[in-house]
Amino acid sequence: MPAILALAIDAQTVAAALFYLFAGIAGASALGVVLSRNIVRTAVCLLFTLVGVAGLYFLLEAEFLAAVQLVIYVGGTLILIIFGVMLTSKSPFSHFEPKAGEVVVAIAACAVLFSAMIMAIRSADFRPQSLDTTQKYPVVALGQALLGDYLVPFELASVVLLVVMIGAAYLAKGRKRDDKRAVARGAATLSQKARQWS
Amino acid sequence: MELILPIATNPIIGLNHYLVLAAFIFVCGLLSMMLKRNAIGILMGVELILNAANINLVAFNRFAHAYSPDQRPMLDGQIFAIFVIVLAAAEAAVALAIFLNYYNNFNTIDVERAQTLKG
């Protein structure tokens, strides 16, 4: 059956091309996150990394995970980070340079770590299994696993999310009244000092 | 380069390709954690590292642990990845709340300026 063989080779080539496309997007913009000095550009690079990783999840036949990545990471976490950028920088172009010595040490340490990981990956034998492409709707199995074997972690995650939401709201807003009181106290001491000096 | 090339020239995409990519993204995240002085840049480095770990989890699930010993399909790696995404969202929310507090107290987001406890 040469026709089917050719089709299979084509599918493999397409999968390889798609992998290199998404891996290129993710890797290049991950590098951009490191190299960019502007925090807004860093956020945009992170956006492209997350989208590239979502594409890789599609290639790994984890469609639900890819959708979750796009909805929660790109639509939620990244928007949160961008709000943080907007709330914490007076001008969006404020940047802080690291010291040259720190850069050298960090790059050396990361180069050693990366080469060690590459060597470990190349020398390890992970015993890959034959692939199953007949499973039609893995999302069904995913839902059954989440509400079956993983029910307790699933419920715990919802409790964690609730606690985090309350805690974040408290942390971000709770200090305002104290601040006003502190400012009022500071102004009172300043005016006292001014009276003493005059 | 010599170490990576044999993987790059192999036409069939396997587990090692994903592992190398995840290692690269992990190192990028570690570098930006070490080099950024903007607290939100450090948070972005953490997100990169979590994504690298997620790629590893899903790739191992797909290529090396797709079946349990009794030949049932397993999705453990994907479920771990979902929990990682959920907890990353929670972590980002708390971290940003802390950074907003820090910004209110110090009027900057530069982590080098947080030295009130420095002896």
Measure the CA–CA gap between A69 and A21, rounded to whole angstroms.
Answer: 18
Q: Which of residues 36-95 of A touch B (CB under 8 A)?
A: 39, 42-43, 46, 49-50, 53, 56-57, 59-62, 64-65, 68-69, 72-73, 76-77, 80-81, 83-85, 87-89, 94-95
Lowest pLDDT segment from A9-18, A40-49, A84-93, A183-192: A183-192
Beta bridge partners of B110: B38
HSE value, Cβ hemisphere, 13 Å, CA-based, for B108: 11
Domain B15-106, CATH: 1.10.287.3510
Q: A1-95 belongs to which CATH class?
A: mainly alpha
Domain boundaries, chain A: 1-95, 137-198
Query: Angle, nearest 10°, between helix axes B39-63 and B15-35?
Result: 170
Domain boundaries, chain B: 15-106
Residue A143 touches chain B, beta carbons under 8 Å: no
pLDDT digits (tens, 9 = 90+) for A17-48: 899 999 999 999 999 999 988 888 999 999 99
Measure the CA–CA gap between A109 and A111, rounded to whole angstroms.
Answer: 6
CB contacts of A43 in chain B (<8 Å) are 44
Per-residue burial over B46-61, b if 16 or more Cβ lie within 10 Å, else e, is bbbbbbbbbbbbbbbb
Measure the CA–CA gap between B115 and B112, rounded to whole angstroms.
Answer: 7
Which alpha helices (DSSP H) does B4-75 contain, by range? 5-9, 15-35, 39-63
pLDDT digits (tens, 9 = 90+) for B30-82: 999 999 888 899 999 999 999 999 999 999 888 887 777 677 777 888 999 99
pLDDT digits (tens, 9 = 90+) for A137-190: 678 888 888 898 899 999 999 999 999 999 998 888 755 555 566 666 666 666
pLDDT digits (tens, 9 = 90+) for B5-31: 555 555 677 888 899 999 999 999 999
**B96 pLDDT more than 80:** yes
DSSP conformational letter for A130: P
